[in-house]
Amino acid sequence: MLKFADIAGVISDMDGVLWRGDEMLPGTPDLFAMLREREIPFVLATNNSAKTPAQYIDKLAGMGIHAIVESQIITSGTATVAYLQAQLGPGARVHVLGGDGLRHIIDEGGFLLVNEDADAVVVGIDTHLTYDKLKRATLLIRDGAEFIGTNPDVTFPAPEGLVPGAGSIIAAVQTATDRQPIIIGKPHRPMFKAALDLLGTSPETTVMLGDRLGTDIAGAQNAGLKSILLFTGVNTWQELPHSAVQPDLAYEDLPSLLKVWGDS
């Protein structure tokens, strides 16, 4: 049973929890205000690899959310860099099928961005996807490069609805190569471990705020965390009774959650 009084740290998703696309969701400023007032440390952890932590800080600042530093933001891109550093080491040749943010993070991580003779191919969200990009990644993987996917999210919430995510692009490459990718982001443990290390809290006293049962909530449970599902992103009230994965608590949106939390 999750008790609000026992929460010592918060890991929050961003897409579908704090915003949809460039539209801030109701309750976002109030969430940060309450966490700071109660001196509860927090980390923002997203499977979206399209932006760097600095770009997410700029996005938050544009919504009036300030005083957040890069170390409080974990993306599947930053977690992928950590994996590459551990497995391949600096200077490895990496081809990226993904956005500029992912390429920048991998470049800053000490790797050589290449279009041929790659040691690894990293696939993430690419909003300018083309057949030629899919073809190049496919040929490099078939030639022996390691196949790494930033995250398994087949969709992500945009203002107009659910749109294709990195998982959809990874699936296309997987089909074309007959290779299983190594997936880095939620629900896998590396992102949750990194977040707990930053917070300095135990899993039992840390809660994950998310909008997706299969990644946010399942990943939190696998890592021993408590979880709260919000219905402002991917999953809905109607889907919850039919899911094998169940959050500790579920609310319609942040204002509904904060009303109960604030009264506790």
Distance CA 94, CA 119 (A): 6
Of 13, 119, 126, 216, the active-site residue reads: 13
Q: Which residue type sits at 104? A: H
Burial 76-111 (b: 16+ CB within 10 A, else e): bbbbbbbbbeeebeeebbbbbbbbebbbbbbeebeb
Q: Which residue type sits at 81? A: V
6 is an active site residue = no
15 is an active site residue = yes
Q: Can you tell me which residue has the tokens 């982001």?
A: 185
Of 15, 126, 153, 211, the active-site residue reads: 15
Task: Find, among 208, 212, 211, 209, the residue nearest to 196 by Cα.
Answer: 208
Contact 14, 67 (CB under 8 A): no
Q: Which residue type sits at 134? A: L
Task: Find, among 19, 31, 30, the residue nearest to 62 by Cα.
Answer: 19
Distance CA 228, CA 237 (A): 13
Catalytic site positions: 13, 15
